[in-house]
Amino acid sequence: MPPSYPVSFSVDYPERKLNRLTTFFRIFTVIPIAIVAALLPGSELAGNAEAGGAGFSGAVAGASLVVLPLVLMLLFRKKYPRWWYDWNLELMRFGNRIGVYVLLMDDEYPSTDEHQAVHLDFAYPDAERLERGLPLIKWFLAIPHYIVLLFLYIGVFFAAIAAWVWILFTGRYPRGIFKFVEGTIRWHNRVVGYALVMVTDAYPPFRLSP
């Protein structure tokens, strides 16, 4: 079994029938919480992020994460302020809850603070153990992942459409599709943890599994 990556992500599979009505109108029911997310500092940039539910967490996180100040702090002071870590982690958790809701993986409305069925975690990093110069090039080193994720997101888009139809008829989310979408979001979060929030120097694995 491959070793676990420092950034962990999972979604509880719904062992129940999902709400068909909110599933049908999901693109509309998500609007209020999407407005809240858009009002976060820096989120006016979210329109430049990936389209679709799988990229919504990236839209929130990519616009509002503390990134450039963190690069400078690690480069010149070898420090990772704890409150920046807390902000980045909780913001990513919030964005992922919205993304999971948009992708129909859960019908519980996204909370701004409770974890619900979405579990994302990474440990507070020891800045002294992080390579000083890597924050300058991590975004570049992660380019192969961006390319793979682009194709995975396309697959997620069509998978979500298939899941939408299946839920409307059966009330259930197909487990195989669920695992694929969960794995793609997990991959995305690992890349964000490595290239943007920089909680680890371990290069993200090319896999969907934990």
Beta bridge partners of 10: 119
- % of the chain surpassing 70 pLDDT: 89
Residue 2 within any structural domain of the chain: no
Coil, strand, or helix at residue 145? Answer: helix
Query: Which residues form the domain of 91?
Result: 18-195
Q: Which of 193, 80, 78, 90 is nearest to 142 (CA)?
A: 193
Integer Cα distance of 198 and 194 in angstroms:
5
Residue 43 within any structural domain of the chain: yes
Residue 12 within any structural domain of the chain: no
Residue 9 within any structural domain of the chain: no
Give the tokens for residue 193.
Answer: 């943890």
Which DSSP state fits 53? Answer: G
Residue 45 within any structural domain of the chain: yes
Integer Cα distance of 127 and 48 in angstroms:
30
Integer Cα distance of 38 and 44 in angstroms:
6
User: Is the predicted pLDDT of residue 41 greater than 90, yes or no?
Assistant: no
Residue 67 within any structural domain of the chain: yes
The whole-number pLDDT of residue 44 equals 44
- % of the chain surpassing 90 pLDDT: 84
Integer Cα distance of 179 and 182 in angstroms:
5
Structural domains in the chain (count): 1
Burial track 109-143 (b if 16+ CB lie within 10 A, e otherwise): ebeeeeebbbebebeebebeebeeebbeebbeebe
Q: What is the pLDDT of residues 116-168, one digit of tens each?
A: 999 999 999 999 999 999 999 999 999 999 999 999 999 999 999 999 999 99
User: Is the predicted pLDDT of residue 103 greater than 70, yes or no?
Assistant: yes
Residue 94 within any structural domain of the chain: yes
Residue 210 within any structural domain of the chain: no
Mean pLDDT computed over 171-184: 97
The whole-number pLDDT of residue 64 equals 82
